[in-house]
């Protein structure tokens, strides 16, 4: 059991934190300040990705629309998907983890503070490199017009679409290099989380007393470290194919396009869990606190996260059912895909059992947690359909898949992120987000999300392919698409409400106490916001709910004290 170094001079942390000027922020190695920079940067990219989603939806609102050219459409949906995944969801969890993991385990910082700063700075750098593709001008290439612009081969960067023969713009190279930088950032972050959680837990915090959010970050970090090298190597080989004429993937030169898919999905299925396990973690913190009950089945909850992570490595071929692999291989991966539903079911059951009979308080964090449960359940179920070989042949590459990704990533990950924002806002800022606006935000987002993504299932069954820039009006897809576009704007309004709430709340006085929700875990044992050195005293942990233990002891003492 690792013990925190209690002798570390507080002055050192105070000095590190002294400067709040621009230079102080640019040079900080404090995990909390780094986390805040993570949160602002990734939220910025969320807005950019969201604006691109609206552009997509305006283009598709009616048949034969000419709002975007087909080339622009390809670029916009590529940059939308890539931004949402690599510049928003994955790094926003790294940001929240950065703030909270050291606090929740009673540590003073991350294990490698300077590496931590590097992880952060690689994100704006990767984003700038990727987005600079928008500046690449049109050229003539071997007598053909090359339209320029950023990457346009989808977030998956499939070969041959990214082969030099098909994707001539240098924007595609910038996309690859930018993504590479983002991959390095998350690898460094993953190593840092592992080192921190393994070595810097407070006295008494055994693995059996680790908060579930920290469990989720631990396993997410392991996935990042094990899986990201596959993305990195796929991207590197792709870049070599494009730039120096190697023949890994491009079939025109005798390479194997299927090989790219294997390498890519060996990373990208686990990446789905990199995006959603931390949401499982935060939901597992919020539901017990707002139900006033201990989490149901703690051990099963931790074990099921680990099981999902292991199984997550052997389901990836379900993305490739239509590539003509041997049937026995397909059947194996269909089977594993169904099996991964079991640990996921254990989690859903345990969350519901935690709420069962509890005195539930529907504050905004809890609303988002409940929204997560419902939406992620739909995303899980329409995913099981995709796991069936017969059904996948029908709906592969249609809007059914777009519906599925968004129920998982928007209904799951994004709802989880907002649950975390509302839950931890008082800890980070010393202020509350306004409850009325928070509830308005929730309901608009919940309704907008279902208006947008539920009808996409129908579009998929009607045969509308994904990644098409427009469609003929005799298809009968127009009305559903108009409804979807309306829903997208409802989501946009909900996010605007959140931003207004943020601005208003930041101007309000600091009234949040240390432990506003009557929490369980150590981040509530220090002040709101915490001092640079995190804790005035060294923490000792005797159970899964150390802060509740102390609160109960205090209540008992004051009840027993003579009046
Ligand atoms: C306002 C909310 C959003 C709307 C209206 C929206 C809309 C869309 C649409 C219509 C497509 C399909 C484009 C096509 O295939 O032609 C798409 C693709 C995609 N979206 Fe979203 N989206 C939203 C939010 C998100 C979020 C939050 C994430 C992830 C965290 C996300 C991840 C993706 C991905 C990965 C793709 C696939 C891109 C590709 O095919 O390469 N989206 N989105
Ligand atoms: Cu998958």
pLDDT of residue 251: 85
Determine contact, residues 450/487, Cβ cutoff 8 Å. yes
Tell me, using a 6 A CB cutoff, whether residue 404 lines ligand 1. no
Tell me, using a 6 A CB cutoff, whether residue 410 lines ligand 1. yes
What's the rounded Cα separation, in Å, for the pair 155 and 234?
13
Kindly compute the dihedral angle of the four CA atoms of residues 487, 453, 448, 358, in this order, to the nearest 10 degrees.
Answer: 170
What's the rounded Cα separation, in Å, for the pair 28 and 284?
31
Q: Please name the residue ranges forming H helices in 105-211.
A: 113-131, 170-199
Helix axes 170-199, 212-244, angle to 10 degrees: 150
What digits encode the pLDDT tens for the residues 151-184?
Answer: 999 999 999 899 887 888 899 999 999 999 999 9
What's the rounded Cα separation, in Å, for the pair 194 and 171?
35
pLDDT of residue 3: 43
How many C-beta atoms surround the C-beta of residue 139 within 10 A? 13
> What is the phi/psi pair of residue 511, to 5°?
-120, -5
**Mean predicted lDDT score pLDDT of the chain:** 94
pLDDT surpassing 60 at residue 407 = yes
Domain contains 382: yes
**2 pLDDT band (50/70/90 cuts)?**
very low
What's the rounded Cα separation, in Å, for the pair 220 and 336?
20
Residue owning the nearest CA to atom 32 of ligand 1 = 81
Ligand nearest to the CA of 415: 1
Q: How far does the centroid of ligand 2 lie from the alpha carbon of residue 277, in Å? A: 14
**Average pLDDT score over residue span 77-81:** 98
pLDDT surpassing 70 at residue 563 = no
Tally of structural domains, the chain: 1
Tell me, using a 6 A CB cutoff, whether residue 491 lines ligand 1. yes
Which segments within 59-143 are labelled E, that is strand?
139-141
**5 pLDDT band (50/70/90 cuts)?**
low
Determine contact, residues 182/122, Cβ cutoff 8 Å. yes
> What is the phi/psi pair of residue 358, to 5°?
-80, 160
Instruction: From residue 372, give the alpha-carbon distance in Å to each of 59, 365, 407, 432, 514.
Output: 29, 11, 9, 21, 26
What's the rounded Cα separation, in Å, for the pair 4 and 108?
8
Tell me, using a 6 A CB cutoff, whether residue 403 lines ligand 1. no
Determine contact, residues 176/238, Cβ cutoff 8 Å. yes
What's the rounded Cα separation, in Å, for the pair 68 and 60?
9
Domain contains 9: no
pLDDT surpassing 60 at residue 9 = no
Domain contains 7: no
- Please report the atom of ligand 1 found closest to the CA of residue 73: 16
pLDDT surpassing 60 at residue 281 = yes
- Please report the atom of ligand 1 found closest to the CA of residue 466: 15
pLDDT surpassing 90 at residue 28 = yes
Q: Which 8-state DSSP code applies to residue 317? A: G
pLDDT surpassing 90 at residue 351 = yes
Tell me, using a 6 A CB cutoff, whether residue 53 lines ligand 1. yes
Determine contact, residues 259/180, Cβ cutoff 8 Å. no
Q: How far does the centroid of ligand 2 lie from the alpha carbon of residue 155, in Å? A: 14
Tell me, using a 6 A CB cutoff, whether residue 77 lines ligand 1. yes
What digits encode the pLDDT tens for the residues 355-389?
Answer: 999 999 999 999 999 999 999 999 999 999 999 99
Instruction: From residue 286, give the alpha-carbon distance in Å to each of 137, 143, 361, 432, 435.
Output: 49, 60, 11, 16, 16
Structural domain of 160: 16-560
- Token match 């149901």: residue? 296
Which is it for the CA torsion 413, 417, 423, 427, positive or negative? positive
Secondary structure (3-state) at 243? helix
Instruction: From residue 266, give the alpha-carbon distance in Å to each of 233, 330, 401.
Output: 11, 15, 19
What's the rounded Cα separation, in Å, for the pair 376 and 378?
5
Residues 6+ apart with CB under 8 A from 422: 363, 364, 365, 368, 433, 438
pLDDT of residue 139: 87
**Average pLDDT score over residue span 478-505:** 98
Tell me, using a 6 A CB cutoff, whether residue 205 lines ligand 1. no
Q: How far does the centroid of ligand 1 lie from the alpha carbon of residue 54, in Å? A: 10
Kindly compute the dihedral angle of the four CA atoms of residues 174, 179, 181, 187, in this order, to the nearest 10 degrees.
Answer: -170
pLDDT of residue 14: 62
Domain contains 414: yes
What's the rounded Cα separation, in Å, for the pair 46 and 36?
15
pLDDT surpassing 90 at residue 497 = yes
Domain contains 447: yes
- DSSP-assigned states of every residue in 210-236: S-HHHHHHHHHHHHHHHHHHHHHHHHH
Residue owning the nearest CA to atom 18 of ligand 1 = 81
- Please report the atom of ligand 1 found closest to the CA of residue 456: 10
Q: Is 541 exposed, middle or buried (0-12, 13-18, 19+ CB in 10 A)?
A: buried
**559 pLDDT band (50/70/90 cuts)?**
confident
Tell me, using a 6 A CB cutoff, whether residue 196 lines ligand 1. no
What digits encode the pLDDT tens for the residues 304-332?
Answer: 999 999 999 999 999 999 999 999 999 99
Domain contains 10: no
Tell me, using a 6 A CB cutoff, whether residue 351 lines ligand 1. no
pLDDT of residue 131: 98
What's the rounded Cα separation, in Å, for the pair 196 and 112?
8
What digits encode the pLDDT tens for the residues 206-239?
Answer: 999 999 999 999 999 999 999 999 999 999 999 9
What is the C-alpha end-to-end distance of the chain, expressed in Å? 42
pLDDT surpassing 90 at residue 346 = yes
Residue 65 sits in a domain of what CATH number? Answer: 1.20.210.10
Determine contact, residues 240/249, Cβ cutoff 8 Å. no
Q: How far does the centroid of ligand 2 lie from the alpha carbon of residue 386, in Å? A: 10
Which is it for the CA torsion 441, 447, 451, 453, positive or negative? positive
Domain contains 70: yes
Domain contains 11: no
pLDDT surpassing 90 at residue 196 = yes
77, 407, 456, best to mutate for ligand 1 pocket (most atoms within 8 Å of CB):
77
- Please report the atom of ligand 1 found closest to the CA of residue 155: 41
Determine contact, residues 101/217, Cβ cutoff 8 Å. yes
- Token match 């393994």: residue? 198
Tell me, using a 6 A CB cutoff, whether residue 50 lines ligand 1. yes
Over the range 170-181, which residues count as b (16 or more CB within 10 Å of their CB) and which as e? Answer: bbbbbbbbbbbb
**245 pLDDT band (50/70/90 cuts)?**
confident
Closest by Cα among 442, 471, 426 to 362: 442
Tell me, using a 6 A CB cutoff, whether residue 79 lines ligand 1. no
- Please report the atom of ligand 1 found closest to the CA of residue 60: 10
Determine contact, residues 149/97, Cβ cutoff 8 Å. no
Spell out which residues have Cβ within 5 A of ligand 2, the ion.
269
How remote is the C-alpha of 527 from its chain's centroid?
28
- DSSP-assigned states of every residue in 5-50: -TTS-HHHHHHHH---SHHHHHH---HHHHHHHHHHHHHHHHHHHH
Determine contact, residues 310/277, Cβ cutoff 8 Å. no
Structure-block tokens of residue 401: 């898949």
Tell me, using a 6 A CB cutoff, whether residue 532 lines ligand 1. no
């Amino acid at each position: 059991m690792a013990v925190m170094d209690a002798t570390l001079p507080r002055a050192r942390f105070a000095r590190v934190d002294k400067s709040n000027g621009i230079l102080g922020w640019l040079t900080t190695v404090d995990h909390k300040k780094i986390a805040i920079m993570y949160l602002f940067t990734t939220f910025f990219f969320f807005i950019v990705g969201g604006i691109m989603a609206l552009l997509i939806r305006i283009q598709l609102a009616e048949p034969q629309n000419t709002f975007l050219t087909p080339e622009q459409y390809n670029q916009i949906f590529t940059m939308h998907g890539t931004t949402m995944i690599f510049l928003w969801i994955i790094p926003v969890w790294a940001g929240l983890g950065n703030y909270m993991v050291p606090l929740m385990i009673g540590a003073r910082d991350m294990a490698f503070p300077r590496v931590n700063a590097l992880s952060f700075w690689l994100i704006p750098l990767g984003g700038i490199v990727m987005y600079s593709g928008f500046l690449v001008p049109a050229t003539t290439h071997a007598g053909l017009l090359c339209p320029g612009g950023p990457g346009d081969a989808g977030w998956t960067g499939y070969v041959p679409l990214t082969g030099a023969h098909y994707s001539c713009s240098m924007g595609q190279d910038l996309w690859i290099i930018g993504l590479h930088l983002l991959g390095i950032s998350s690898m460094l972050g993953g190593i840092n989380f592992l080192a921190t959680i393994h070595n810097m837990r407070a006295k008494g915090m055994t693995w059996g007393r680790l908060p579930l959010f920290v469990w989720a970050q631990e396993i997410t970090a392991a996935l990042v470290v094990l899986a990201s090298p596959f993305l990195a190597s796929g991207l590197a080989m792709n870049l070599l194919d494009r730039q120096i004429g190697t023949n890994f993937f491009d079939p025109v030169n005798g390479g194997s396009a299927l090989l790219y898919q294997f390498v890519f999905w060996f990373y990208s299925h686990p990446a789905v869990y990199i995006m959603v396990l931390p949401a499982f973690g935060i939901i597992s913190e919020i539901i017990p606190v707002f139900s006033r009950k201990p989490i149901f089945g703690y051990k099963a909850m931790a074990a099921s996260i680990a099981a999902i992570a292991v199984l997550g490595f052997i389901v990836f071929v379900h993305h490739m059912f239509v590539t003509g692999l041997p049937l026995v291989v397909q059947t194996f991966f269909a089977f594993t895909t169904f099996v991964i539903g079991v640990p996921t079911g254990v989690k859903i059951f345990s969350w519901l059992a935690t709420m069962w009979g509890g005195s539930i308080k529907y504050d905004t964090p809890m609303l988002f947690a409940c929204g997560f449960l419902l939406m992620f359940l739909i995303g899980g179920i329409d995913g099981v359909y995709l796991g069936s070989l017969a059904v996948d042949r029908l709906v592969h590459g249609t809007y059914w898949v777009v519906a599925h990704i968004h129920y998982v990533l928007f209904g799951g990950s994004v709802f989880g992120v907002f649950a975390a924002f509302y839950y931890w806002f008082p800890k980070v800022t010393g202020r509350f987000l306004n409850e009325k606006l928070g509830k308005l935000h929730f309901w608009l987002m919940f309704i907008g999300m279902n208006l947008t993504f539920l009808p996409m299932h129908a579009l998929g069954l009607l045969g509308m392919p994904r990644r098409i820039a427009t469609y003929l009006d005799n298809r009968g897809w127009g009305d559903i698409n108009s409804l979807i576009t309306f829903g997208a704007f409802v989501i946009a309004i909900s996010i605007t409400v959140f931003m207004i709430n943020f601005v208003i709340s930041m101007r309000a006085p600091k009234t949040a106490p240390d432990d506003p929700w009557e929490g369980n875990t150590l981040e509530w044992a220090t002040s709101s916001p915490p001092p640079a050195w995190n804790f005035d005293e060294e923490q000792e942990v005797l159970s899964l709910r150390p802060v509740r233990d102390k609160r109960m002891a205090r209540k008992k003492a004051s009840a027993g004290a003579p009046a």
